[in-house]
Structure 1
Amino acid sequence: MNDLEEIIAKLRDKATMQGIAGTDSGRAVLQRIADDYARLEAELAAKVPEMQRLLGQYREVLRLARKYLRKGWLA
């Protein structure tokens, strides 16, 4: 189990969560996790259009490569 999986397992444990949420430092950690998640989610959402554009370009390259291979132009 990697570190992230271990953290997730602890966060899913209700007793552990009640212990964490019951302290100021625990609440600060949970807030930081929530803030980091929101930041990462926004960053990924901003990258989606660029990724879709790149995938479209790769699809076009593959389409042309297949076409030229069928015609025997690429060997």
Structure 2
Amino acid sequence: MVLLEAAGETAQVLLDYVTPRFRDFSPGEFVWRQSGLLADLGYRRVVTPPGMLSPYYDRVGFERDGDSWVLEVRP
């Protein structure tokens, strides 16, 4: 489950949850990289809240920016 808050072309991650059974990164890989949904919705950037617990974001294309993770969305 992913819940985002829109701020123009930036989406702020409010919730990113997967049940333990599916925590092999494939759901995140699909949502953040493969689906094209973020670009289709007009987002160019996704930002996580500071201090995310157990982050996997570096494995799906996000880069560290201070205490947050940022994904530049490809059109």
Task: Give me the TM-score of the superposition, normalised by structure 2.
Answer: 0.26
Task: Give me the TM-score of the superposition, normalised by structure 1.
Answer: 0.26
Report which of the two has the higher share of helix: 1
